[in-house]
Structure 1
């Protein structure tokens, strides 16, 4: 396997982009990433997307995006793993370069959530779950997360307000992120006053669905020798699955796919999870952030919420998370989220995160989940030093 580096990154602001088409949104991120990579010519394009075939009525999306970006003739395909589609596309792109199949790959995650509204869009998003045994019974992703949170509260008895720390941290970090959807801090009082979405899940426990596109250029260090900014090496990239239906799991609070993907990605990178400088985890719901910390081994079962109380997760804590606002405040563009996480981690490792910079960041753990860790993709990134 060859060394693989991130030579270029690009992204659009996350938000409700009613006026921008799906293809144009993707192109803006692609153009920025290719410029950042010094104009390297991609030989393959992998697109992470979840909703386009239903919400935008567009199949063969990778062909559309490649053609619109002037990349005719290259290999192009769409990769789907529900809301982990972006991370899955990145994994495929990494393997293509590492294996020697191609030398330069473009990965883009793109989502236009606002191409459909109301029940139609809720139905599309629910396809991340088991259709026969969950969706047809009326379950939604938010209701599913609420069941998980209710079980956690029952099993471990944390104070209900402990979960407030995660959206509060995300929003505090997003204030200085120009690409974030919500650049305002949130108080504990606002969290506690927020409406109930699905008991005990409140409004601020759920990341808002949104539009956005993010892209990276992957290549070998040799092909990136003329790139002027620091390179970021991909040291590990692994996916894992659990049962799709939550009720089929012996323990719904054990995010087994998240655990296995972290362990195997770190083994691939030759490190332990505790040897990273930041962890861009998936906070689609605040309970999932807690369970991800536990699955990765940063806290014992039932104790993940305590890390926020100990001030360990801030930009200058021992394990910074959600450094640019996470899905909660950056916004959650579903199939594009995994690529946004990669871009944000790359900014940290390049020392270009501005006011959000984690001091002396050299290595990052990045994890994207589909639903309650039905699928999990974990990557280990490191500032390249030759």
Structure 2
């Protein structure tokens, strides 16, 4: 099986985009990805395209892949949509990598798009809720904030973490997002702001929750035989892992971890031949601050029950031993559901190429992205590494 490389990646700004459509946003992201390829590339070099989207608002649910790829100039390219809730474009990237590794494509494009801000609050809650377990969660009134609040309560009951640790994660991610021109909530906040905010679902408050966003992201993947045509400093896909879990929280064995994340991470580390200690940074799925806290343990950054100690140590800060969510994460950068996973890859690509501006992590060589669907029904992890000049 041949190696696959990220040769380009781009995204739109994330936020409220009343003048844009899902087609125009996806086209902008594809243009940015094409422009980011060091030696240049034309759209007609793309052999395959995979688009991640939940389809919030019911936009073009059927044939939504061709609807956006044709608009973006990928004429005649086989394209399809993948839906895996918030992990949709993370899985799209995985499928593009599979297409390249198998030899079915020399260059594949994976992307994602979502428009979420042009509807009422009730409509938005409905579309967010469709990724929850239908019979016993969604139809009984449980929201995603409520599900993650249950996870937070269970974690606080079992371990020594407190809501203040979640607030400290929010402060960190806002500080990073303030350095990201593409961030939806690109402003800093104080610990007082993040601890005294209005409650959303106890023990989670407003600053523990990510925004709903519009946006798109796109990633270009190339095979080892052709990568030299596009760059002398490729970003190698060192490892990939993915797993599924029961959709309903009540169906699982534990509330204090996400098994799909742990299984996906173990597979990614094994295929990359590395351990968590080898990482220089990570972009993790922090739809709620408790999700980032759980990810520290699920991804092997620390022992079970010790995530709050990692927060207190400062290790996950931008200047720490393992910076987490230098982009601002979902909390600050934003969460356009279908675009989030590909957006994480775009951030990792920038970091590994030394192009992340004020939030650049010095000498970054190995990075991880972690994308979760719903409350853990699906997860996908990618390990990327910078190669020396070819």
TM-score by length of 2: 0.96
**Structure 2: which 5+ residue stretches go unaligned?**
none
Residue range with higher mean Cα deviation, 229-238 or 25-34: 229-238
Q: Specify which of 208, 221, 224 is matched with residue 224 of structure 2.
A: 221
Q: Offset at 1:162?
A: 1.7
Whole-Å Cα distance in 1 between the matches of residues 268 and 352 of structure 2?
A: 18
Matched, 1:44 2:52: no
Q: Is 1:169 aligned to 2:204, yes or no?
A: no
Name the residue aligned to 2:358.
355
CA contact (8 A) 1:242 1:257 kept: yes
Distance in 2, matches of 1:235 and 1:330, equals: 26
Match of 1:13 in 2: 13
- Whether 1:207 aligns to 2:236 is no
Deviation at 1:57, TM superposition (A): 4.6
Cα distance between partner residues in 2 of 1:317 and 1:191: 21
Q: Deviation per CA, 1:42-87, whole angstroms, max 9, x where unpaired?
A: 11110011124x4425421111112112222211000110011010
Residues in 1 aligned to 2:263 and 2:231: alpha-carbon distance in whole angstroms: 36
Say whether residues 1:197 and 2:200 are aligned partners.
yes
Moved more, 18-27 or 57-66: 57-66
Q: CA deviation at 1:208?
A: 0.4
Which residue number in structure 1 is paired with residue 76 of structure 2? 73
Alpha-carbon displacement from aligned partner over 1:236-278 (angstroms, at most 9, x marks no partner): 1121011111011111212111111001111011111221111
1:336 aligns with 2:339: yes
Q: Which residue in the other structure is 2:34 paired with?
A: 34
**Deviation digits for residues 187-217 of structure 1 (CA, Å, limit 9, x no counterpart):** 0111122100011110010110100111111
Q: Is 1:271 the counterpart of 2:237 in the alignment?
A: no
Q: Distance in 2 between matches of 1:286 and 1:215?
A: 26
Task: Find the residue that maps to 2:117 and give its secondary structure.
Answer: helix
Provide the rounded CA distance (Å) in 1 between the counterparts of 2:120 and 2:48.
33
Cα offset, 1:228, TM superposition: 4.6
Q: Does 1:370 find its partner at 2:373?
A: yes
CA deviation profile, 1:322-357 (whole Å, cap 9, x unmatched) = 111110000111111001100001111011111111
Q: Deviations over 1:139-182 (max 9, x none)?
A: 01011111111111111132331211111010101111111112
Aligned residues: 385
Q: Is 1:296 aligned to 2:299, yes or no? A: yes
Unaligned runs of 5+ in 1: none
For 2:226 and 2:301, the matched residues in 1 are separated by: 36
Stretch of structure 1 that moved more, 245-254 or 110-119? 110-119
Conservation of the 8 A alpha-carbon contact between 1:263 and 1:273 = no
With normalisation by structure 1, the TM-score equals 0.97
- Shift of residue 136, structure 1, vs aligned partner: 0.7
Alpha-carbon separation, structure 1, partners of 2:69 and 2:257: 39
The 1-side partners of 2:302 and 2:5 are apart by: 30
1:132 is the counterpart of 2:135: yes
The answer to whether the 8 A contact 1:55-1:113 is kept is: no
Q: 1:134 to 1:349 in 2, by over 3 A?
A: same
Counterpart position of 2:251 = 248
Instruction: Using the TM superposition, name which of 92-101 and 153-162 deviates more.
Output: 153-162
Instruction: Find the counterpart in structure 1 of residue 159 from structure 2.
Output: 156
Whole-Å separation in 2 of the counterparts to 1:165 and 1:230: 36
Say if 1:48 and 1:80, in contact at 8 Å, map to a contact too: yes
Could you tell me which of 127, 139, 144 is aligned with 1:141? Answer: 144
Kept in 2, the 8 Å contact 1:51–1:113? The answer is: no
1:95 alignment partner in structure 2: 98
Work out whether residues 33 and 220 of structure 2, in 8 Å CA contact, stay in contact via their aligned partners in 1: yes
Pairwise CA RMSD: 1.3
Q: Distance in 2 between matches of 1:236 and 1:192?
A: 37
Query: Conserved in 1, the CA contact under 8 Å of 2:160 and 2:308?
Result: no
Instruction: Tell me if structure 1 keeps the 8 A contact 2:370–2:381.
Output: yes
Aligned to 1:122: 125
Q: Secondary structure at the match of 1:238?
A: strand
